[in-house]
Each structure stands twice: as structure tokens, then as C-alpha cells.
Structure 1
Amino acid sequence: MWREEINDEQWIRLEPLLPPLIGLGRPYLAHRPVISGIIWVLRTGAPWRDVPDRFGQWTTIASRFRRWTAKGIWQAIWTELQRQADQGGQLDWSMHFVDGTIVRAHQCAAGARGGQHDEALGRSRGGFGTKIHLRAEGQGKPMAFVLSGGERHEAKFLAPLLETGAVVRAGRGRPRLRPDRLVGDRGYSYPTIRKYLHRLGIRVTIPRRRNQGPDLCFDAAVYKERNRIERLVGRLKHFRRIATRYDKRAVSYQAWLIVAAILLWL
């Protein structure tokens, strides 16, 4: 077993969620070596042409990654893993964490038709890059991602972040979207955000800035738990295809984030 490959325990959980191999016309290469090749690219950041021969032809691996991205299969797998965790009581809705992090974009990420704005690229103090806005559940596992240009502020994307990643709860009516409490840093400390969260019935643990006066209801003990999303950012950036953006299209880069999230949920 090579280090980059998915292990047996993970494969047992993942295999039932994959599309069937039958009924696809010409001979179809088994899923496991192809997914192992995709994970190898995710971890190393290497170009598709450098995929080792033990995983099969690089064209097959690259084309399946792109087809599954276009069909929403990666997102469906991630959603199903979240649903299974929620059904087993392993998804913590008591508090969720939000944060944003900037990744540098490689020069080959530029040049897509439509311009930088449509592909979540922009220039900030850190240079040319993309900002990942993410939400994590109470145990620090990823729940949702939203991409923007590197210069955009986190507060602008809190609403779409909370409205992304619904979990269908078996036998419990409508899908659940919102946690009981939201924890974020001072970048989210705006009166409009606090009113928005209170309107949704979500308790707020966000420290106020110095010019906003004291917050007598602020829970410092709960706020210390925010390190879980910071550790999640570190785990995501261990994947080199995420730590540096090489993809011209935002949909491809987000697919890499989803594949990484799937691995963290397995």
C-alpha cells in the first residue's frame, strides 16, 4: 500500500457511495486506482501528466475527476457522508465555526475566460490569490466552502456560507442548515451580522472590536474552541493542490476542496 492511496477502512465506507461500473458501455477502469491517482495529485500538487503508472493512464484519471466535478458527484458523496454522520449522532450542531483563509494562486491559474472575478481570483496584500471561506461543525470537520477573490472580506460571505451544505435528516422533516451557535473572530463583528444571526435564532460568540464597546454576554470559554477551525485550515493546506491554486476555473479548485473534505470525513 503506497502512502498516497486510500486505505481499506476508508474504501469500505466510500465504495457504496460511488457510481456503479456496470452499464457504461466500453470497459470502465475500476474506481479505486483512479481515485487513488486523484488523491495522489491532491496531496502532491503535481500535474496530471506526472501521475505514476501504477494508477493507470493519467488521461483516464483526469477525465474522471472532471466528469464527476461537472456531474456534482463529489458534492453528493460529501453530502451523504454528512447525512450518515448526522444520523449516527456524530455531527455536532451545538456550535459551528467560521473563518477565512487566503491561498496564493500560481501563474497558470490566470487567464480564464470571463475574468478574475468570475473565477474567485483577486489581489490582496498577500498577492494574487483566492480566499476560502469555510464553516466547520463542532468537532472541526468541514461543512461548507465558499470561494471569493483574495481581497474580499469574510463578513460578506457569511450568509451564503450558512445557506450551503444542507444535511437531509432521515425521518426529521426538512434538511437542517443552521447550528445552535456560531463562533467567529472579530472579522465578523458587525451589527448587521449579529442582527442576521439573532433573526435566525443562532446564538453568537464573536468578540467585539475595541470601538464597539464591551460585550457582557461574550463567552470566552466557548471562543477558545475556535482553534478547531484553525486546525482544519492547517489540515486542508497539507494538500498541496489546495495550499496553492493551480486551477483556472473556480469549480475545479472547489472540487479539490470537496475531495479533501471527503477524506477528512471518512
Structure 2
Amino acid sequence: MKQYEAVIKTMEENGGYATLKYLYENALKVPGVEWKTKTPYASIRRIVQDSRFFFKIRPGLWALKSYKDKLPSNIIKMIEESKKPIEQTFTHYYYQGIIAEIGNLHNFQVYIPSQDRNKPFLDKKLRDVITLEKLPNFTYDTIIKNIKSIDVIWMNERGFPYAVFEVEHSTNFKNSLNKFFELIDFYTKMVIVSDKQRRRQFESIINSTIYREIKNRVIFYDYESLEKYYSNPFQFKHFI
């Protein structure tokens, strides 16, 4: 069996579609296939871009052309949504899920607020991509209470927050920055994820006097860059 046939077989067994993560975990286990490469994940990413057999639904989610009319209803809905303007297609929860999966890829413990966990992400729910139900008691209760609504938190192996992320689609960034301020005494990376067209607005707010102590610690990451990393993380040296 050839490598591309292994990818097709893996997708067929999953209903005609799969996330890249699913392919990484399962296509390499198909018997009778030799992956004589040090970068099998890169081979899988190359294979799914073969338009003879596959098509992309969203970054990180691919399907078989031969199954286009036989896919589950939730996947068909995603295909229909992909034809809409980007502001309607890529939701807040979609980006939360991408950030969570990147955190898992880098072996962090991943937390998402309980009120978001039943929201949809690709072919699953956000609860399926977290590894922490509750934040560790790494500091005072008041601080944990104030940060537990942050969209995504990556915790390191010692139980401290390595990075915090807020997805800002339309609000004015201040609520997110106020949450970040709670972690000023920790060596935590702080990331705002938003549309690149909102960078100027972000810079205007982060330059306000009240945020001067965290100004140089908050990173602005646009949607496009996030999707590129998620689709092919191994071509980058660093994420943040």
C-alpha cells in the first residue's frame, strides 16, 4: 500500500474526513505502508493537498472528494459555512480550539473555561481538546477567580501558567488586558488573537498609561498567522 492510500484508508474509516491530528495519530499505523522519512507528518500534509483525492474544509480539517455527498451533517454544514465571509465562518470557538490543540502539540496542560466547553470545534467539542478541568491552585484564590474566564490557558509541567490567550473578534481588548494584568507577577506569555486589521486599535489601547506595565509583554497574533501555524506547525521554529 502506498502512503496516499494509507491516508485515504484512514479517512474512509473515519467517515470520509479527518483532522490533521487524527491523520498523524492513525495513518502511520496502517499496516503494509513504509514511511521512510524523518518527517512523516510533512508527508501527510503534502498528501492531503493532492486535489485529485482530497479537499480542505478548514485549516486542519480535510475530506475525501469521493465522500463529498456522504459526509456527516455537521461536516457538510462546515463546508457550507466555508463559503460565507470569513467573519461569519471563523468563530471565537474555532480559534479557541486551534490554540488548545497547538498547546497540546507542545505538551502543555490546556484549560478552557467551563462555559465554552460544549461549543463546537471542527468535528468535535472544545471539551475534547482540553486536558485540565480546573486550574491548579498556583496562587491566591482571588487571582484564579479573575483569570479563569480567559479563553485558553497553557499550564506548564510545574502547574504555572506558561501562556494565556484571549480571542478578540469585536470587543475593544480592555477586558482581556485587564485579565492579563492579574498575572503581572508571573513569567507568563500574554497573547491577543484577532484580525490583523484590528492591530492598530490594539496598539492604541495597549499604549494607554494604565497598561504600561504589561505593554511589552502582550503579543498580538492575527488569525491568518495562527491558521498557518496550525496547518503546518513543524515549519516554524517558534509559535510565541
What TM bracket, shorter-length normalisation? 0.3 to 0.5
**TM-score normalized with structure 1 length:** 0.31
Normalising by structure 2, report the TM-score.
0.33
**Which structure carries more relative contact order (alpha carbon 8 Å, separation 6+)?**
1
